[in-house]
Structure 1
Amino acid sequence: MGRTDTASRLIDAPIDRVFAALIDPEALAVWLPPAGMTGRFEHFDARPGGGYRLVLTYAEAPAGGGKTTVDSDVVEARFVAIDHDERVVQQVDFTSPDPAFAGTMTMTWAVTAVDGRTRITMTAADVPPGISADDHAEGMNSSLSNLAAYLLAPRHR
């Protein structure tokens, strides 16, 4: 059993809008990539047993390179559960030749209504040892900030 990382944020949007952004590939491509990255889905099937392949590309390649190529991380994910207005559970694997990034990480995105707003909590269990705890926390918090900004944009209200 590996490390578990968690990030949480209260978002000024109702739970149904927040949850919808968790399973919409167009929304995810905008908010999920952390600062300094862009995302592109090669396929996406939001149902238990379905999944996706996401290519995350760095604006500037990190000194040690990405997990998959010099400037990218590729994520293969399978949806384990999609419980409307409650949670999304995914099993996530990085495509990488480096064994430090091997293993399946379980990501749970849980949403809770709080006075017309929504608390979203991201929990990553069994985080591969090659992912630094500080970098992961920064990335998860960046994604949550992106989600809040996405939902506050006039076209998404």
Structure 2
Amino acid sequence: MQFAHAGLPTRQKSKWWQHDGLKWLTIGLFSLISCYLIVLMYAQGEYLFAIMTLILVSAGLYIFANRRAYAWRYVYPGIAGMGLFVLFPLICTIAIAFTNYSSTNQLTFERAQSVLMQRQFQTGKTFTFGLYPTADRQWQLLLTPRTAASRCFPPPLA
């Protein structure tokens, strides 16, 4: 008794685009391009995007290349979309909230500390003010500098 193929019977593929060689060539090219893009993301410091791309591409390649995972082809786009557009931003938001890491915090601690210590605040002139009623039922603001005797009358306020 001989069991050559205990599973599904093989069918003859008549079209050129139905052969396994073309399928594996396409999967190989897609894998190489994806790996190149993932390495570029990782090299630029975008670790979360590189990990997310690696997970989505590897799961997609497995599901669409494996005949046993044929039923998952209908579920994968929904799960991938939920992971990419809901879970990934949620995880990134939580990571930024608890680590205070964002695009504005790209300096080392020592450099950020020196930048903050070099900031100076220069005060402008200080004025005392008075608010007086005018004859036509408006208000007049009187600004008087503390150091000089000159006065400033802006236009009346309604």
Whether these two folds match at TM > 0.5 is: no
* TM-score calculated relative to the size of structure 1: 0.24
Q: Which is helix-richer, 1 or 2? A: 2
Higher relative contact order (CA 8 A, sep 6+): 1
Q: Which is strand-richer, 1 or 2? A: 1
Tell which structure's C-alpha radius of gyration is larger. 2
